[in-house]
Amino acid sequence: MVMYFFGCWDQPGHFLRGPGGTHVRDEVNATPWGYRLDGQLCPGFVGPKAWQLPQVQPEGSAALHHAVANGTTWTALAFWDRSVDPRMNSCGAFIVDQDRTFEEVTALAHQHFPEVMARFRFEIKVVA
């Protein structure tokens, strides 16, 4: 199993990372979603000007996605996250190279990314 976190780690800037915060350099090809991880999978995404519409980005609002690439089913849990970067359009996503439920992805996130999960002061909940 491979699991990634896309989002801010300890400073503004969205990057794809493995457990422990290691950068995943080939981010476009590392997941079926590529750069769409940067907000486009979050519920209520309306484009790069969404920072002007804070009501469409409640922190913790999430969407669960599945995609198949090269015979492997992937799961992404994408959500609005301003725990590091307070600006609108800041987001996060947990990605796993298996077909998983919301409960399974969040349990794996606690296991593989405890430092990320510990900083959230909001509940991640699927709304779309």
What pLDDT score does 120 carry?
96
Mean pLDDT of all residues in 115-126: 96
CB 16 within 8 Å of CB 27: yes
What pairing do the DSSP bridges indicate for beta strands 72-80 and 61-69? antiparallel
Q: Structural domain boundaries of the chain?
A: 3-10+25-126
Q: What is the pLDDT of residue 128?
A: 66
**Structure confidence at residue 49 (pLDDT):** 67
Statement: residue 7 has pLDDT above 70: yes
pLDDT of residue 19: 92
41 secondary structure, DSSP code: T
pLDDT bin (cut points 50, 70, 90) of residue 46 is confident
> Is the pLDDT score of 117 beyond 60?
yes
Give the model's pLDDT for residue 64.
Answer: 98
Name the band, by pLDDT with cuts 50, 70 and 90, for residue 45: confident
Residue 88 and residue 54: Cα distance in Å, rounded?
A: 7
pLDDT in tens, 49-99: 665 666 678 999 999 999 999 899 999 999 999 999 988 888 999 999 999
N- to C-terminal Cα separation, the chain: 25
Q: How many CB atoms lie within 10 A of CB 80?
A: 25
